[in-house]
């Protein structure tokens, strides 16, 4: 699940690799991946790629007057390859063949096709519904007063921090790391945070995501591996000792994800009920 640090390092590496390259042809083997049809994808043929940048958890591949906006969702990956994909490569979704023989390839793993791409006139990217509604980036963090306004809402922090319209870039993995660093419960309401807690959360967002990005700058070479070397400390490590206090990490399971926390430091010693179960019993 690529989040701000993973998408940012992907954008930086791809930018370095493709800026200045010319597109020979473009095609979309993933029939449902392209969400736009006008301009057609092959309008990219002959265009020079000017760069790759991150917008929230999305990527934009800029090519002069056109821009390919890409959302990787959970299983998509955008990477550059020295050789063209086999036509039998069932993970291939969108292929930009460069005239130096390389290929910028959007792939998606697993059975679901959820990753998407839109080819837009460059000036329309900022007006796209997913881009225009993005909140400010979680890292670098906004000034404390502005951050406080963003998060003081009557919603659980776990949902609030992952809402891209509130604050952009955080998903299911890094939210656990941020809340653990800030020593806050995932189910505390943003509107119930006192000043010290807002300050801890603000600092944690900036520090955790910044450290992840620094880590990737050190360990990622020319290309981001399909499986990011995520420096996680608590996410999905329920049952293991908390790296800070040694208490056993606990988790709440949702339909298709998990939130892990330290009961001793985040929930006043309470182990939270499994919410799937409590919903059934209610």
> Tokens 């994808």 label which residue?
41
The interface with Zn ion within residues 26-55 (CB under 5 A) comprises none
Residues 65-94: x where in contact with Zn ion by CB under 5 A, - otherwise, as a string = ------------------------------
Is the bond preceding 213 in cis, omega lying within 30 degrees of 0?
Answer: no
Nearer of residues 115 and 264 to Zn ion, judged by Cβ = 264
- In the bound complex, what is the minimum distance in angstroms from residue 201's beta carbon to Zn ion? 17
For the chain, report the end-to-end CA distance as a whole number of angstroms. 32
- In the bound complex, what is the minimum distance in angstroms from residue 270's beta carbon to Zn ion? 13
Nearer of residues 18 and 175 to Zn ion, judged by Cβ = 175
- In the bound complex, what is the minimum distance in angstroms from residue 242's beta carbon to Zn ion? 3
Nearer of residues 113 and 233 to Zn ion, judged by Cβ = 233
115 near Zn ion, rule: CB under 5 A: no
The interface with Zn ion within residues 184-203 (CB under 5 A) comprises none
- In the bound complex, what is the minimum distance in angstroms from residue 260's beta carbon to Zn ion? 11
Residues 127-156: x where in contact with Zn ion by CB under 5 A, - otherwise, as a string = ------------------------------
Residue whose C-alpha is closest to residue 263's, from 236, 238, 281: 238
- In the bound complex, what is the minimum distance in angstroms from residue 269's beta carbon to Zn ion? 11
175 burial level (CB within 10 Å; 0-12, 13-18, 19+): buried
Residue whose C-alpha is closest to residue 68's, from 29, 108, 122, 19: 122
Q: Which of the stretches 87-95, 204-212, 215-223, 234-242 binds Zn ion when contact is defined by CB under 5 A?
A: 234-242
**Residue 257 CB neighbours (<10 A):** 16
Burial 89-117, CB ≥16 within 10 A → b, else e: eebbbbbbbbeeebbbbbbbeeeeeebbb
**Is residue 266 within a helix (H) or strand (E), and if so which, with residue range?**
helix 263-266
- In the bound complex, what is the minimum distance in angstroms from residue 261's beta carbon to Zn ion? 9
- 16: tokens are 């370095």
For residues 150 and 89, give the distance between their C-alpha atoms in angstroms, rounded to a whole number.
Answer: 43
Closest residue to Zn ion using C-beta atoms: 242
- In the bound complex, what is the minimum distance in angstroms from residue 180's beta carbon to Zn ion? 8
Contact 145, 62 (CB under 8 A): no
Nearer of residues 133 and 248 to Zn ion, judged by Cβ = 248
Residues 237-276: x where in contact with Zn ion by CB under 5 A, - otherwise, as a string = -----x-xx-x--------------x-xx-----------
Contact 139, 4 (CB under 8 A): yes
Contact footprint for Zn ion (CB under 5 A): 242, 244-245, 247, 262, 264-265
């Amino acid at each position: 699940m690529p989040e701000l640090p993973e998408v940012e390092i992907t954008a930086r590496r791809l930018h370095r690799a493709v800026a200045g390259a010319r597109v020979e042809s473009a095609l979309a083997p993933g029939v449902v991946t392209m969400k736009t049809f006008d301009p057609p994808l092959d309008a990219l043929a002959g265009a020079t790629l000017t760069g790759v940048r991150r917008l929230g958890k999305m990527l934009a591949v800029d090519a002069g007057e056109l821009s390919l906006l890409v959302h990787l969702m959970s299983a998509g990956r955008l990477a550059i390859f020295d050789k063209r994909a086999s036509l039998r490569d069932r993970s291939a979704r969108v292929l930009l063949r460069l005239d130096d023989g390389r290929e910028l390839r959007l792939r998606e793993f697993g059975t679901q096709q959820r990753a998407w791409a839109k080819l837009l006139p460059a000036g329309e990217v900022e007006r796209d519904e997913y881009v225009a509604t993005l909140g400010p980036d979680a890292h670098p963090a906004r000034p404390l007063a502005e951050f406080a306004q963003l998060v003081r809402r009557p919603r659980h922090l776990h949902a609030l921090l992952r809402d891209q319209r509130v604050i952009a870039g955080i998903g299911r993995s890094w939210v656990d790391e941020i809340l653990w660093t800030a020593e806050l419960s995932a189910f505390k309401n943003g509107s119930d945070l006192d000043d010290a807690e807002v300050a801890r959360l603000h600092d944690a967002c900036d520090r955790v995501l910044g450290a992840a990005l620094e880590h990737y700058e050190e360990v990622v070479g020319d290309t981001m591996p399909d499986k990011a070397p995520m420096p996680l400390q608590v996410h999905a490590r329920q049952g293991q000792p908390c790296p800070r206090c040694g208490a056993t990490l606990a988790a709440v399971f949702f339909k298709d994800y998990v939130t892990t926390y330290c009961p001793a430091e985040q929930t006043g010693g309470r182990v939270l009920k499994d919410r799937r179960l409590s919903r059934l019993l209610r």
